[in-house]
Structure 1
Amino acid sequence: MITVIILTYNEERHLERCINSVLPIADKVLVIDSLSTDETVKIAQSLGAEVYQNKWPGSQALQFNWALDHVAIDSEWLLRMDADEYFLPELADEIKGGLMGVSENINGIYLKRRVYFMDHWIRFGGYYPIYILRIWRTGHGRFERRWMDEHLLLKPGSTLKFKNDFVDANLNDLTWWTEKHNNYATREAAELLNYKHKFLKEASIGARLVTHQDHYTRFFKEGLYLRLPIFLRALLYFLYRYVVRFGFLDGTKGLIWHFLQGFWYRFLVDAKMYQIEERARKSGKPVREELEKVLGFTIDAKEDHHIPRN
């Protein structure tokens, strides 16, 4: 009935928890691995997952689309999971029973995400509940081609929401988290510079974004947010989350989360955008060229967004 697809790279800490949580509802678990150097592949195989390896193509969207193009999938439904996520038993039960009675006009299903940070549930600041389209009919969805915030594009049809939660709970430390978000900041700076300077037009596959959260995020970042003064907008966003959306109720660990994720990260994105544009002004070169130096590849209009440098 349902195939679960998990993208991995060195996820030995999380993968067993993730796979075990979806086994009650999965007919097949596919692990698409980016050449891990730890025990990820061995763990996946020991739990009965099928493992396919593909060198990291530059984004989760491209890796997931590679799986859709190269792996035989014969189930009616697909489910995407990240390795550091897992189902609560209540959600597994809901999916097991709920998919049986879904009408034919339903092509996608939202699941509700619960974020944990430093073993603390982030309940406030606009972070709960967040509904994400994670289940869709096979052949009816594909991931859009973006550097950051890749979302599922679903063919026309209706959607519904399940009421129980899945959990996003990464077990790595803050050093890992800040290094990861430093890399994310580079990719998001590229995304926002692309939006501002129009290097590429977004590819279309004749589908649409269906998640209300996706529409809200796009409007916020590409509409209102980018119209605000650089650097000041990071502070305003943090205050909005921490004060207006009651993020302070998340306590000390919540303060760390909202400050790092809502201010530090957004400020870092702005700083990287500022540096790239300043270098372009000083050198007299196009912003696109300076961005390519940072990314390490040539931006191209092809599906993979880039041609690696020699």
Structure 2
Amino acid sequence: MLLSLIVLTKNEQANLPHCLASLEKLGAEVFVVDSGSSDRTVEIAKQLGCQVFEHPFENHAAQINWALQNLPIKTPWIMRLDADERLTPELVEELKQILPYTDEKITGYQVKRRVFFMGRWIRHGGYYPTWLLRIWRTDFGVCEQRWMDEHIVLKQGKIAKFQHDIIDENKKGLSFWIDKHNRYADREVKDMVSLVAEKEDDLLKSSQYSQAIGRRWIKKNLYTRSPLFLRAFLYFLMRYIIGLGFLDGLEGLIFHFLQGFWYRFLVDAKIYELQKKEVSSG
């Protein structure tokens, strides 16, 4: 085996079978790191041949780094995959054909993420292609410590790109999506506060993270410095009008409004609440 996959789970019985089914022809070892599932997640993972480990969840970055430090990974390559993601058959074949013959100077690969929402591919509004470093040589990668928007950072080496996609499609429905983003908003507040305070960003030291650099720079230097609430309106307009999000149809309207406006407005409301508490306690 050349490749091991790390999949983080909690109550993912609706998504995990689709994720693991996409890996069947890859011939890789799959490690599932579960954080206290109360459904059939662990049972499904074991039935489908995964090695299952339990670890309490703090955030994605801490969970990934725990996995890198503690899992008995013996393959030369590692891939991170979320339980609601799956590989396209074309990417599976590409991995099998290219990974064994990768030049030693290349220590990581980026792949494109293709997001589906309510069964529709969200192709506009800046959502595709999103390039993510998801595959790296064992012992060469670590996850930066962030509450949200965490990336794998390589210790050294060059980064190449695969041409085919991973698909992000959560099967749990809209109510779960809203609950999840409410929890994300709490983490986003912590991340935005720390982003404003930090003087240097390790991720930005690597010129190869071109898309991640650009988005992080915009978030830190433009978005966080814009007025609360107004920035949520402007961001939605940028995505839906200038970014042609309206071409994604009715599902796209729902997605871009909820993810590009409602979620960002909610984050600002939580920041505003935090500021009021600080004023009253000060």
Q: TM-score range by the shorter chain?
A: over 0.9
SS in 2 for 1:126: coil
Q: Which residue of 2 aligns with 1:42?
A: 43
> CA offsets per residue over residues 164-185 of structure 1, 9 Å max, x none?
1110000112111111101100
1:217 equivalent to 2:218? Answer no
Q: Which residue of 1 aligns with 2:9?
A: 8
Q: Which residue of 2 aligns with 1:271?
A: 269
State which drifts further: 226-235 or 114-123: 226-235
Letter in 1 for 2:242: V
Letter in 1 for 2:223: Y
SS in 1 for 2:22: helix
Q: Which residue of 2 aligns with 1:306?
A: none
Q: Which residue of 1 aligns with 2:247?
A: 249
Q: Which residue of 2 aligns with 1:95?
A: 95
Tell me how large the CA RMSD over aligned residues is: 1.7
Q: Which residue of 2 aligns with 1:192?
A: 192
The gaps in structure 1 that reach 5 residues or longer are: 285-310
Distance 2:201 2:224 in 1: 21
> CA offsets per residue over residues 105-151 of structure 1, 9 Å max, x none?
00000111100000010011011111110000000001011111111
Are the structure 2 counterparts of residues 226 and 160 from structure 1 closer, same or farther at C-alpha, using a change threshold of 3 Å?
Answer: same
Letter in 2 for 1:258: H
Q: Which residue of 1 aligns with 2:278?
A: 280
Q: How far is 1:196 from its partner?
A: 3.1
Q: Is the 8 A contact 1:30 1:50 kept in 2?
A: yes
Q: How far is 1:155 from its partner?
A: 1.4
Q: Which residue of 2 aligns with 1:32?
A: 33
Q: How far is 1:23 from its partner?
A: 2.6
SS in 2 for 1:237: helix
Distance 1:202 1:277 in 2: 24
Q: How far is 1:28 from its partner?
A: 0.7
Distance 1:169 1:184 in 2: 17
Q: How far is 1:186 from its partner?
A: 0.8
Distance 1:189 1:51 in 2: 32
Q: Is the 8 A contact 1:110 1:162 kept in 2?
A: yes
User: 259, 263, 276: which is aligned to 2:257?
Assistant: 259
TM-score, reference length from structure 2: 0.95
Distance 1:183 1:231 in 2: 19
Are the structure 2 counterparts of residues 126 and 7 from structure 1 closer, same or farther at C-alpha, using a change threshold of 3 Å?
Answer: same
SS in 1 for 2:26: coil
Q: Which residue of 2 aligns with 1:151?
A: 151
Deviant stretches of 4+, over 2 Å: 194-198, 201-205, 207-213
Q: How far is 1:161 from its partner?
A: 0.7
Q: Is the 8 A contact 1:156 1:208 kept in 2?
A: no
Distance 1:27 1:219 in 2: 36
Letter in 1 for 2:258: L
Distance 1:187 1:129 in 2: 25
1:226 equivalent to 2:227? Answer no
Q: Which residue of 1 aligns with 2:236?
A: 238
Q: Which residue of 2 aligns with 1:20?
A: 21
TM-score, reference length from structure 1: 0.87
Q: How far is 1:208 from its partner?
A: 4.7
Letter in 1 for 2:279: R
SS in 1 for 2:30: strand
Distance 2:186 2:67 in 1: 25
Distance 1:60 1:210 in 2: 23
Distance 2:225 2:277 in 1: 22
Distance 2:27 2:7 in 1: 12
Letter in 1 for 2:167: V
Q: How far is 1:203 from its partner?
A: 9.0
1:171 equivalent to 2:171? Answer yes
Q: Is the 8 A contact 1:152 1:209 kept in 2?
A: no
Distance 1:17 1:121 in 2: 17
Distance 1:101 1:125 in 2: 36
Distance 2:76 2:227 in 1: 47
The gaps in structure 2 that reach 5 residues or longer are: none
Q: Is the 8 A contact 1:107 1:140 kept in 2?
A: yes
